[in-house]
Structure 1
Amino acid sequence: MTTGVDLGVPATQAIRSDEDVVRVRQLVRTTAVAVRLTLVDQTKLVTAASELARNTLIYGGGGRAEVSTVSDGRRRGVRILFADEGPGIPDLDLALTDGYTTGGGLGLGLSGARRLVDDFDIQTAVGEGTRITVTKWSR
């Protein structure tokens, strides 16, 4: 579960097209630089955000990303909420398994994104959509 205190109003980016996925990547990179994540951590977070934004578009039918800075008192970080009102994930355990895919890809989207961030929380319900919150903390 993600912890920390929000440091400001999140920047929201709609996800309705491939161009919006690029905009999410750019927003996350800019925020990660502002928080002074290392280049390696910036790259990990942008990669995870790209995967999750693409999943929001493809499997969730579109949605939004909310990017904010957070602090836990010792360090700062970037928190991203991906939300859609799509079909939800019927078998979350299976969907989080390495190699599982419904789209013919490598099957590293959710499980790979989870490994690239420090905090990963997913809430999903069939017919109600999916909310994924990730956080990457400064070192």
Structure 2
Amino acid sequence: MENQSCVKITTEWDIVAARQLGRSAAKEIGFGPVDQARITTAISELARNIYLYAGRGEIQIELIEQNGKKGLKIIADDKGPGIQDIRQVMEDGYSTSGGLGAGLPGVKRLMDNFDINSEVGIGTTIHAVKWLR
């Protein structure tokens, strides 16, 4: 894998493609099965949010290195309606789709770093990083 890959999210199949790309990238840089599953779950949740709420966007998967540590950065980017109340969507158990997904709080727990930027009417960008132990 080069340092960055991208999957456009417009259909449910794209969610599967993003998951597979994330799993193989995680495996390639040395993450064990448990962290591979965490990363894959986080990607799945982010991609599903793009599909359900924005209609289209992209998942970027980036190999990163900082202070001699390797990691994987997931960037979920969409030009959807944006999130009106970030605090609310970051509460455990909050769901607008009626789903039982882990949601954004779940993604935050699965990853080591999590950052969300959203503007109503413009879109949402989420950065999530998992570091190799």
Please classify the TM superposition score into its range, dividing by the shorter chain length. Answer: over 0.9
Which of residues 120, 124, 127 is equivalent to 2:121?
127
- Which residue is 1:3 aligned to? none
> How far apart are the structure 2 equivalents of 1:41 and 1:74?
19
Q: Deviations over 1:45-93 (max 9, x none)?
A: 1001100100011111110011110011222111111100000000000
Q: CA deviation at 1:12?
A: 1.0
1:65 correspondence with 2:59? yes
CA deviations 1:4-31 (Å, max 9, x no partner) are xxxx541111000010000000000010
2:60 matches 1:98: no
Q: Structure 2 CA distance, aligned partners of 1:104 and 1:123?
A: 23
Please give the secondary structure, in 2, of the residue aligned with 1:120.
Answer: strand
Give the match for residue 114 of structure 1.
108
Matched, 1:74 2:97: no
Matched letter for residue 34 of structure 1: E
Q: Could you list the runs of 4 or more consecutive aligned residues of structure 1 that deviate by over 2 angstroms after TM superposition?
A: none
CA distance in 2, matches of 1:136, 1:66: 14
TM (norm. structure 2) is 0.95
Amino acid at match of 2:75: L
Paired with 1:22 and 1:117, the residues of 2 have a C-alpha distance of 19
* Cα pair 1:117 1:134 within 8 Å, conserved: yes
2:28 is matched with: 34
Structure 1 vs Structure 2 CA RMSD? 1.1
Question: Deviation digits for residues 84-123 of structure 1, max 9, x if unmatched?
Answer: 0000000000000001111111262101111000011110
Q: Distance in 2 between matches of 1:77 and 1:39?
A: 15
TM-score (ref. length: structure 1): 0.91
**Unmatched 5+ residue regions in structure 1?**
1-7
- Which structure has more RCO (C-alpha within 8 Å, separation ≥ 6)? 1
User: What 5-or-longer segments of structure 2 have no aligned partner?
Assistant: none
